[in-house]
Amino acid sequence: MDDDLAEIRERLRRLLRLSVEQNEGLLSLLDDPAVSLARIVDTAALLERLDDQREDLVSELKSESRRLAIDEAGDKPIRVLVLDALKEMTVPQNAAFLQEFIWGRFGIDLETRGFGTLRRDEKRSWERNRDKRAAFVAPALSSSGEARADYMTRSDWPVSRRIILPETERILDLYKVMLLLLAWQDESARPTAFDEPLSRYATQLFEVEPLPSMPVGTWAGYLGYSERQQWREKVSAMVRAELMRLEPGDEAARVRAAALIAEYDQEEKVWGAWARRPA
């Protein structure tokens, strides 16, 4: 562990201990009716400032994590990580979700602005020697075969899987939740890097409370485990029910669209119908 990383960890450790002390102090103040509201507000404001400092330190740790992970996985470029993630997902996804998934799965924090460069590099590599690689990171396709650069796919997928229709976007959002639920199935009740995005996507899609946090302590932890399991089972059932309703019709429509795109040449099928059109 280098000196900079050790310093960040120590600063975060001290900050968390201070936060615990201040939280306990705030609880004591709230229990005392004689304490003025002004003092309670001041203490709460201090905790907010500590939270801001904690986020800054966590951001520094993520940057260090990115650097170390890239150093350790130097022989595994970004394109391979994206292709591996897409293979596990089995469906197109956007850059923001790919970033969250790769962070949770591989511990590498990619910057989404780098995905645009990746797509351009993949296209140039394909033009130089399309047979050199088994798969390229390619855009999704619209029903008319035009590129949907806001979603990424694998070039070796069937065209029908790479097409996105209006209803497909809802299905892909449901897949986000399902993928995050399944990502750490063996440790489903323990806190993971997937907790925050899972909770966020689920509450956006359904009228559910956020994923319960995991309390500290044996008995509290047992109750927290149970609550988290119940939440996950409830959300999983909601996702599966909606997918069963939406997927058959969407798949049939994508197959019909793929049949129309079948007459396009290979470049247009991979990179979109605009691929040979002048800008």
Examine the domain organization and report whether 224 and 263 are in the same domain: yes
Q: What are phi and psi of 110, to 5 degrees?
A: -80, 150
Phi-psi region of 189 (alpha: psi -120 to 50; beta: other; left: phi over 0): alpha
DSSP string, 39-50: HHHHHHHHHHHH
DSSP 133-144: -S--EEEEE-TT
Are 57 and 99 within one domain? no
Query: Average per-residue pLDDT in the chain?
Result: 84
Q: Which two tokens stand for residue 103?
A: 């962070």
Distance separating alpha carbons of residues 67 and 176, to the nearest angstrom:
27
Q: Tokens for 22, please give them.
A: 């201040």
- Which helix H or strand E contains 150, and what residues bound it? strand 147-154
Residue 168: pLDDT above 90? yes
Instruction: Clarify whether residues 246 and 137 are in a common domain.
Output: yes
Residue with tokens 């740790």: 61
Question: Are 35 and 88 contained in the same domain?
Answer: no
Count of domains in the chain?
2
Amino acid at 141: L
Q: At 127, which amino acid appears?
A: E
Are 44 and 136 part of one and the same domain?
no
- When pLDDT is averaged across residues 225-241 and rounded to a whole number, the result is 90
- pLDDT, tens digit, 9 for 90 and up, residues 68-114: 555 554 456 788 889 999 999 999 999 999 999 988 888 787 777 77
Torsion of the alpha carbons at 70, 73, 77 and 79, rounded to the nearest 10: -100
Nearest CA-CA partner of 99 in 195, 190, 177, 197: 197
Same domain, 106 and 49: no
106 and 175 inside one domain: yes
Residues 249, 254, 258, CA angle at the centre, nearest 5°? 150
Stated pTM of the model:
0.71
Kindly tell me if the per-residue pLDDT of 145 is higher than 50.
Answer: yes
What value does the mean pLDDT take over residues 203-231?
A: 75
What value does the mean pLDDT take over residues 243-253?
A: 97
Per-residue model confidence as pLDDT tens digits over 51-66? 888 887 777 776 666 5
Per-residue pLDDT, 218: 46
> What domain range is 43 assigned to?
3-72
**Which of these three, 25, 49, 72, is where a domain ends?**
72
In this structure, the answer to whether residues 115 and 166 fall within a common structural domain is: yes
**Going by C-beta distance under 8 Å and a sequence separation of 6 or more, which residues neighbour residue 212?**
224, 227, 228, 231
Q: Of 65-69, 192-196, 275-279, which has the strongest mean pLDDT?
A: 192-196
Q: What is the mean pLDDT of residues 185-199?
A: 73
Close Cβ partners of 7 (under 8 Å, ≥ 6 residues apart): none
Extract the tokens encoding 116.
Answer: 């645009």
What Rg, from alpha-carbon coordinates, does the chain have? 23
Of residues 116 and 243, the one with the higher pLDDT is 243
Dihedral over Cα of 182, 187, 193, 196: its sign: positive
Long-range contacts of 226-233 (CB under 8 A, 24+ apart): 226/189, 228/188, 228/189, 229/188, 229/189, 232/181, 232/188, 232/189
Mean pLDDT for 254-276 is 89
Q: Which of 107, 182, 173, 117 is nearest to 149 (CA)?
A: 117
Site of tokens 């350790």: 72
Position with higher pLDDT, 198 vs 67: 198
Q: What value does the mean pLDDT take over residues 249-256?
A: 97
Between CA 204 and CA 200 the distance in angstroms is 6
Q: Quick one: 68 and 109 in the same domain?
A: no
Same domain, 101 and 56: no
Which pLDDT value is given to residue 279? Answer: 42
Say whether both 151 and 50 belong to one domain. Answer: no
Q: Are 269 and 258 in contact (CB under 8 A)?
A: no
